[in-house]
Chain A
């Protein structure tokens, strides 16, 4: 079974800092990898999707990279803002199924 791990579990940074969230997975045979954001008591908002053939995707201040051979993805957030405070979830889809296998998330707090 594909295991997805996110480190750190929690992170607190001052506003304006650039930061990196990490995601690792045990089986390199993936279909795609998605990064989500979840605000307290809310649903998940998709941030970026990286297909297995891609190395990175960018959206605004967000950049996600994928290294299948090492089983790792990173989410880079530039010039962090208090509004970026949320839990960030990494999810991997394997070729054999429809399910997304989720990590447990990194809880990010950006302080003014």
Chain B
């Protein structure tokens, strides 16, 4: 039981490049989330998926797209990376909205 896994662990991009962050959970959870963590700003929600087949915007969705590929997997795509997207990205999942959110180890992204 690996919990929430994220790939890659670290990535360096140049401005304008694109990439997809991958997230998978093996806990049969319904809801999945993408957060970013920045110094002095705390964690902020980018997008979430309440259940398979649905996605919704969070607090800071601009510049990102998501795909809930199946119940296990939830990916985050940066179409044209900007230096302001330099951050640590965390994926999380929960069985239901009101229950504990479990976080992955994070992806550290540096955009030059």
Contact = CB atoms under 8 A, between A and B. Distances in A.
Given A99-B45, A99-B58, A43 B103 contact: yes
Contacts, number: 55
B99 A49 contact: yes
A76 interface: no
Size class of the contact patch on chain B: 20 to 34
A105 B42 contact: yes
Identify which of A44, A45, A51 gathers the most chain B CB atoms within 10 Å of its CB.
A44
B42 A44 contact: no
10 contacts: A36-B103, A43-B4, A49-B100, A89-B42, A98-B31, A98-B56, A98-B97, A99-B58, A100-B43, A102-B44
A34 B97 CA distance: 13
Main secondary structure of the interface of A (DSSP, over half): strand
B59 A99 contact: yes
A93 B98 contact: yes
B54 to A, nearest CB: 11
Contacts of A51: 98
A81 interface: no
Interface in A13-42: 31-32, 34, 36, 42
